[in-house]
Amino acid sequence: MTSHFESDGLQLVGRLTEPHQSNQGNTAGLLLCHGFPSIAVGDKDAAQSYYDLADLISDQLGWFVFAITYRGCGESEGNFSLRGWLNDTINAVQYLSNIKNVDTVYAVGFGTGGALAINAACLCDELTGVAAVSPPSDFNDWVDEPDGLLSYARKVGVISDSNYPKEPDKWKQELSEIQTIESAGKMQGKPLLVLHGADDRVVPSFDARVIADAHGSADLRIIDGATHRLRFDPRTTAVLIGWLDRANRSFLKQLDPEKNFPREEKL
């Protein structure tokens, strides 16, 4: 089901998958955050490739799953800015948390979306935990070449306004203000899964190790032979579903230690 939510006065698009049935009356919500589009994919299909994953997770776990389209992409309004995408993440979490029967909210982000989900976790109380897939530990490449990023963003279509940004210096400054390593250390005990491909040539797996170390108790998984396109690897799906299920069971147990939950199935 297509849903719209507001972020900084912009109307953004998301696809909400509702569960066929909920578990134990405690229904979790999951936010799916796409990465920065490539020229091959473009802005139009940046989020659509995650819809099958959303349906699978919702079917397996009985969760609401909200796959959002960041500003500047697809049918969402606006133009890309890193701070803007962070705000979109936070506002999408709040939108999902306001849905009736959604008790807890997690986020799974890929690439840039994974890094922003980590940053959102230390700013947004409603976000319970994060799984970051192939996240960059920093945006230093963009900081060093902001004009190159602007040019690339126009090519892939996430910036469509020829007069944007109206404040170029402010737009560029945002690239260095968002610090994923620092944010991972400020998640205040919220669970974190960092999942990375051993053969990732876009974002080296070293970034995953640095983020996990900064968090202190993150679950780090490096998948042998996997590249940056982890969302198409069935091992990724299995790890994500298993981790989300365990993380939420642990959270619910902390809320009600006396309650007995059904024995966890092996995923």
- CATH number assigned to the domain comprising residue 173: 3.40.50.1820
The Cβ-side half-sphere exposure at 243, using a 13 Å CA radius, reads 24
In a domain, 264, yes or no: no
- Number of separate domains in the chain: 1
Residues with Cβ within 8 Å of residue 31, at least 6 apart in sequence: 66, 68, 89, 92, 93, 96, 105, 106, 107, 108, 117, 127
Indicate whether 130 pLDDT > 70. Answer: yes
In a domain, 28, yes or no: yes
In a domain, 173, yes or no: yes
In a domain, 261, yes or no: no
Instruction: Give the integer Cα–Cα distance in Å for 205 and 198.
Output: 6
In a domain, 124, yes or no: yes
Mean pLDDT of 189-198: 96
Tens-digit pLDDT profile for residues 9-41: 999 999 999 998 655 566 999 999 999 998 776
Instruction: Give the integer Cα–Cα distance in Å for 138 and 59.
Output: 34
Instruction: Give the integer Cα–Cα distance in Å for 207 and 220.
Output: 11
Name the pLDDT band for 223 (thresholds 50, 70, 90).
very high
Residue 208 is predicted with a pLDDT of 97
In a domain, 102, yes or no: yes
In a domain, 113, yes or no: yes
**Mean of the per-residue pLDDT values for the chain?**
91
Mean pLDDT of 49-77: 94
User: What's the whole-model pTM score?
Assistant: 0.92
Instruction: Give the integer Cα–Cα distance in Å for 30 and 56.
Output: 12
Residue 265 is predicted with a pLDDT of 44
Range of the domain at 92: 2-255
Tens-digit pLDDT profile for residues 140-163: 999 999 999 999 999 999 999 999
Contact criterion met (CB below 8 Å) for 49 and 41: yes
Distance of CA 56 to the CA centre of its chain: 17
In a domain, 212, yes or no: yes
Distance of CA 9 to the CA centre of its chain: 21
Instruction: Give the integer Cα–Cα distance in Å for 227 and 247.
Output: 25
Cβ-count burial 45-66 (b if 16+ within 10 Å, e if not): ebbeebeebbeebbebbbbbbb
Name the pLDDT band for 186 (thresholds 50, 70, 90).
very high
